[in-house]
Amino acid sequence: MLKLLIVDDELYAIRAMLKAVDFAALGFAEVYTALGANEAKQKLQTHAVDLMICDIEMPGTNGLELTEWVNDHFPDTITVFLTGHAEFSYAQKAIRLGSFDYLLKPVKTAQLEAVLKRTAAKIGEDREAEQLVESAKKYRSMWQRQRAVVVERYWQHLLSGRAVPSGPSLQAVHLPLEPGSPVLPILISIERWHKEFSPYDEEILEYALRNAASELMLGECRGDIVKDANGILLALAYGVGDCPLEPCEFEDACRSFIEASGRYFYCSVSCYIGVRTTVVGLTDVYHRLLELEQSNIAHSGTVQRLDESQVSPGAGAKTPIAIPWSDWVVLFETGNKRELLGRLDQLLGELQEAHDHAESASALYHALLYMIYHVAHKNGLSVKEWAGLRERSDEQAAIRSIAHLRSWSEWLIDAASDHMERQRGESSALIAKTKAYIKANLKEVTREKAAASIYLNPAYLSRVFKRETGQALIDYIIHEKMERAKLLLAETNDKITDICEEIGYENYSHFGQAFKKKVGIAPHEFRKRYRQLGENNGR
């Protein structure tokens, strides 16, 4: 309900209005009165007044001056003027002050009621508009908070092959792109943390890294920093506005980001700059970047660029046909080749009947390659060493006819399945070798040395290790160090400082903190409890 203030220096005029009009029936539940401007100011300061009916001619501060004050202090209060003089100058001033209406005394009841009805309606409309604006602000704020999550999920689905780019899907997540829009991806590889952090602390630092990457790498270009399904960070620069998307233009920015990461965020990173591609062709470039990172064994904290010759000519130039990605990926990943080949044969049959199948054949060719790369990288396997894959991945030869595409597709699925089965065994062997190296070299072992011992990139080995064991590589190293320390504390009389040195800790304080964090008690307390337990058992 609304609140009304009647201001007039003549008490009989106020009483006449109160007697003549049923204000409550018109929507004004509370009606206040004031005999002059000073009293009106007091009422306005203690009550949230929606409408002020104000006489103009009053001694001291007149109604026009009072309204100027009200406009400054309570701009949402609407004013209707009353006056006994039909002077044009008054009307002009009232209009300039934003008066809702201007009535001459004596005011007829019907006329006043009509003005009150219009005023109540106006206030209702204004409040509804304000609610809509506030709702819009609320939902806009909610969308801004959720945008990063929604956009990241979209790119994850696209890069994992669970979605194909389309105009509507890009518009739905408010990306300023079309399937053929230019994009430049940059893979950000976190190679190692300079200190031991909890997963929560690493998450906070990674958030800070994202913000720094957005500011330093993307700069004035529109784009997003996202994480793929395997936890790898990608900077995606969009070719909109004045952003040139030339790979060489991003090299200095990447070097600045690498320097800032080491100085402020306690980590070493490398950046792998892709080539200008399209949204449709992004998956192919993304997989090539993964290979580039995987092959970087010796050079930490560097900027590397993808050679354009490493990207399939024309990749992504055509819009892919609708393929049941989730089904195909599951069938391939689980080794159900017979069912996969059956579905592929059915699709090829449909293409055979099509009048113009060249575009769809090309899309299917790239789709199958994307599927292979996705499953391989998801399982931490290298596609780079797969014999014959590059040599036999000539698009023009493969899609020369449906018969050629069928033959090539069958070869691809068979060869990829064999390579994956063999590499899965090799992957398990790599994990075993990594564990053996760690146990044999506890004093000097680091993530980088463990990776170098089996000729792998440290970041890549960490992802494979986590995928195979469910445990982070650095956590496994610390676990093995603490297990060795527990054994030495329990079964030897070695000084704790010597044990600390034997497992690779430079100072006792750091060792003591790490031991207590993992075991729950300090090293000397652990030795004391173990020996007391042994004495009790010996009695």
Q: How far apart are CA 204 and CA 200, in angstroms?
A: 6
Per-residue pLDDT for 183 more than 90? yes
pLDDT attached to residue 320: 45
Per-residue pLDDT for 228 more than 60? yes
- Each residue's pLDDT tens digit, 325-342: 667 777 887 888 888 888
pLDDT attached to residue 462: 85
Q: Which CATH architecture has domain 475-538?
A: Orthogonal Bundle (1.10)
Q: How confident is the model at residue 93 (pLDDT cuts 50, 70, 90)?
A: low
Q: How confident is the model at residue 438 (pLDDT cuts 50, 70, 90)?
A: very high
Per-residue pLDDT for 316 more than 50? no
Per-residue pLDDT for 415 more than 70? yes
Q: How far apart are CA 212 and CA 464, in angstroms?
A: 27
Q: What percent of the chain has pLDDT over 90?
A: 20
| Residue bearing the bigger pLDDT, 539 or 383 | 383
Bond prior to 320 in cis (omega within 30° of 0): no
Per-residue pLDDT for 224 more than 90? yes
Per-residue pLDDT for 373 more than 90? no
| Residue bearing the bigger pLDDT, 87 or 519 | 519
Per-residue pLDDT for 146 more than 80? no
pLDDT attached to residue 319: 43
- Each residue's pLDDT tens digit, 124-142: 888 887 777 777 667 666 6
pLDDT attached to residue 437: 92
Q: Tell me which of 54-68, 79-93, 212-226, 463-477 is least confident.
A: 79-93
Per-residue pLDDT for 397 more than 70? yes
Determine the Cα angle at 280 with ends 278 and 281, to 5°. Answer: 65
Q: 2-128: what fold?
A: Rossmann fold (3.40.50)
What's the mean per-residue pLDDT of the chain? 82
DSSP reduced 3-state for 10: coil
pLDDT attached to residue 390: 61
Q: For the residues 387-392, what does the mean pLDDT come to?
A: 62
Q: How confident is the model at residue 395 (pLDDT cuts 50, 70, 90)?
A: confident
Residue spans per domain, the chain: 2-128, 160-311, 320-453, 475-538
Name the CA dihedral angle for 438, 444, 445, 451, rounded to a multiple of 10 degrees.
-120
Q: For the residues 174-182, what does the mean pLDDT come to?
A: 90
DSSP letters spanning 105-161: SSPPHHHHHHHHHHHHHHHHHHHHHHHHHHHHHHHHHHHHHHHHHHHHHHHHHHHTT
Per-residue pLDDT for 318 more than 80? no
> Would residue 504 be called left, alpha or beta, if left means φ above 0 and alpha means ψ between -120 and 50 degrees?
left
pLDDT attached to residue 99: 62
Q: How far apart are CA 372 and CA 411, in angstroms?
A: 12
Q: Tell me which of 233-237, 276-280, 325-329 is least confident.
A: 325-329
Q: How far apart are CA 512 and CA 506, in angstroms?
A: 11
Per-residue pLDDT for 89 more than 70? no
Beta bridge partners of 237: 184, 223
- Each residue's pLDDT tens digit, 499-535: 999 998 888 888 888 888 888 899 989 888 887 776 5
Per-residue pLDDT for 317 more than 50? no
H-state helical runs in 379-472: 395-398, 402-440, 447-453, 458-469
**Domain 2-128 matches domain 475-538 at the CATH topology level:** no
Q: Tell me which of 144-158, 170-184, 229-243, 317-331 is least confident.
A: 317-331
- Each residue's pLDDT tens digit, 357-367: 667 787 788 77
Are the beta carbons of 462 and 471 closer than 8 angstroms? no
Q: For the residues 404-419, what does the mean pLDDT come to?
A: 85
Q: For the residues 27-35, what does the mean pLDDT come to?
A: 91
| Residue bearing the bigger pLDDT, 428 or 118 | 118
Give the single-character DSSP code of 47. Answer: S
Q: How confident is the model at residue 386 (pLDDT cuts 50, 70, 90)?
A: low
Instruction: Supply the pTM of this predicted model.
Output: 0.55
Q: For the residues 86-105, what does the mean pLDDT come to?
A: 61
Check whether domain 160-311 has CATH 3.30.70.270, yes or no? yes
